[in-house]
Amino acid sequence: MRASAAQMVFDPELALEALIDDRHPEKMATAAWAREELVDPDLAGRDERSEFWREGWERCAAHGIQGSILPVELGGQGLDLVTAMLRFEGLGLGCDDGGLVFGLSGQIWTMQMALDRFGSDEQRRAVLPGLASGRTIAAFAMSEPESGSDAMALTTRAYRIDGVKAWVTLAPVCDTIMVFATLDPQLGRWGVTAFLVDADAPGVEIQPNRKKMGLRTTPFADVVFRSCEVPESARIGAEGAGGSIFSAAMETERAFLLAGSIGRLERQTTEAVDYANHRRQFGQPIGAFQGVSHQIADMKLAHETARLLLYKAVALQARDTPSMMAAALAKLAASGSLAGVRIHGARGYVSEFGVERAVRDTMGGVIYGGSSDIQRNIVARLLGLPA
């Protein structure tokens, strides 16, 4: 295992600046770029059709988003974690397409970071430059239809891979899949092994995109493996190391995947303040009513709490120190709020103003990367309560 390029460069002074300056220039520059370059007049239509925006993905790659944390020699920019987080905050703040931001976050903070840390030099050279350039897309396949929160309860068998992976983000548009299979289900987590598999390899069947409540512009699908033979060179790490690779990826994902969501939460809060100042009822702005102002105060509390915990997790990761507690708390703080709809009233409920789409996208946070109940279990266990 190696440290990622992002972890090898860490400036504590920059981390402190990011922590206290919620209008950091790096973040605001990315937000401004997103408002200018990631405008899609057909976003509502694509959301309705659950359609991926390939052009937006390629624009992000040209701007360096996909290459943010990858080493320069592999086509990346070698940015430190703090700068990368600021970029993704800005992306969430400035981009209307929450599904696009989620898809980018999933590939970068789960798939790319795991492959950069645990893959062989040959695997990294073969896959990561294409991901950085946006020419190719990768998916991360762990969950199975019956495994749920018991992530290590796999039935998909290794080397001659047979089984089904469920809820695979970006599967319908991906070129490469990091798939977790077991040498023997009786071994539990000690049998779990990770592999790189081409999406068009014999025996790989990607199912149609699944319709869902939110994040519709990032496609999800099941992937069926039928006697898909993979060579030993496709294995990532040692046999049985997949459980550790997956756990490390989830620790990273729980915190860093939320940077875009935290930017979106800031945007929702700002929009709620603006609306509450301009919408009048009973002769005064609705922001004058405590029922409204307290909801907005709670939105700001959630945003600030999640943001502080995010940068704490970044600092811990950069020091190769466990960040599980901070990551779990950050995810809980940023996951799912209906306040935006409640404050906007009927305008928040109908589709034409985009408020309900943003809320639908946000609600996915109570599930992906481990449900909110799982995050509470993690916090309780780390506090010393019985497992």
Q: What is the CATH number of the domain that holds 59?
A: 1.10.540.10
Domain count, the chain: 3
Q: Is residue 236 part of a domain?
A: yes
What is the percent of the chain where pLDDT is above 90? 62
User: Whose CA is closest to 97, among 141, 169, 24, 37?
Assistant: 37
What CATH code is carried by the domain that includes residue 352?
1.20.140.10
Q: Is the domain of 251 the same as that of 375?
A: yes
Looking at residue 362, what is its pLDDT? Answer: 81
> Which of 137, 170, 187 marks a domain boundary?
137
Q: Is it the case that residue 197 has pLDDT exceeding 80?
A: yes
Looking at residue 315, what is its pLDDT? Answer: 86
Q: Is the domain of 212 the same as that of 264?
A: no
Across the range 205-216, mean pLDDT stands at 94
User: What SS3 state is found at 222?
Assistant: strand
Contact 10, 318 (CB under 8 A): yes
Q: Is residue 309 part of a domain?
A: yes
Across the range 59-65, mean pLDDT stands at 97
Residue 336 corresponds to which tokens in the numbers above? 């799912």
Looking at residue 257, what is its pLDDT? Answer: 83
Across the range 19-43, mean pLDDT stands at 95
Instruction: Look at 126-135, 341-350, 376-385 and tell me which has the smallest mean pLDDT.
Output: 341-350
End-to-end CA distance of the chain: 28
d(CA 224, CA 204): 6
φ/ψ of 362, rounded to 5, equals -65, -35
Q: Is the domain of 194 the same as that of 270?
A: no
Across the range 159-164, mean pLDDT stands at 90
Q: Is the domain of 21 the same as that of 123?
A: yes
Q: Is it the case that residue 184 has pLDDT exceeding 80?
A: yes
Q: Is it the case that residue 2 has pLDDT exceeding 70?
A: no
Q: Is it the case that residue 7 has pLDDT exceeding 70?
A: no
Looking at residue 334, what is its pLDDT? Answer: 78
Tell me the sheet residues that pair with 236.
194
Across the range 357-380, mean pLDDT stands at 84
Residue ranges making up the domain that contains 125: 5-137
Instruction: Look at 188-192, 194-198, 200-204 and tell me which has the smallest mean pLDDT.
Output: 188-192
Q: Is the domain of 330 the same as that of 318?
A: yes
User: Whose CA is closest to 304, among 332, 339, 333?
Assistant: 333
Looking at residue 124, what is its pLDDT? Answer: 97
Model's pTM, two decimal places?
0.91
Q: Is the domain of 378 the same as that of 261?
A: yes
Q: Is it the case that residue 336 has pLDDT exceeding 80?
A: no
Q: How confident is the model at residue 365 (pLDDT cuts 50, 70, 90)?
A: confident
- Classify strands 176-182 and 138-141 as parallel, antiparallel or unpaired: parallel
Please pick, among 89, 144, 251, 253, the residue that the annotation labels catalytic.
253
What is the percent of the chain where pLDDT is above 70? 94
Residue 57 corresponds to which tokens in the numbers above? 């993905």
Q: Is it the case that residue 193 has pLDDT exceeding 90?
A: yes
Q: Is the domain of 15 the same as that of 95?
A: yes
Q: Is residue 357 part of a domain?
A: yes
Q: Is the domain of 202 the same as that of 254?
A: no
Contact 105, 275 (CB under 8 A): no
304 is catalytic: no
> Which of 208, 228, 244 marks a domain boundary?
244
Higher pLDDT, 61 or 153: 61
The amino acid present at 236, given as its one-letter code, is I
Q: Is the domain of 158 the same as that of 93?
A: no
pLDDT mean across residues, the chain: 89
Q: Is residue 387 part of a domain?
A: no
What CATH code is carried by the domain that includes residue 148?
2.40.110.10
Q: Is the domain of 238 the same as that of 252?
A: no
Q: Is the domain of 153 the same as that of 119?
A: no
Q: How confident is the model at residue 319 (pLDDT cuts 50, 70, 90)?
A: confident
Q: Is it the case that residue 102 has pLDDT exceeding 70?
A: yes
Q: Is residue 55 part of a domain?
A: yes
Q: Is the domain of 256 the same as that of 345?
A: yes
Looking at residue 354, what is its pLDDT? Answer: 80
Q: Is residue 131 part of a domain?
A: yes
> Which of 244, 259, 281 marks a domain boundary?
244
Q: How confident is the model at residue 129 (pLDDT cuts 50, 70, 90)?
A: very high
Q: List pLDDT tens digits, range 246-296.
A: 988 888 887 788 899 899 999 999 999 999 999 999 999 999 999 999 999
Q: Is residue 132 part of a domain?
A: yes
Chain position carrying tokens 């589709």: 351
Q: Is residue 373 part of a domain?
A: yes
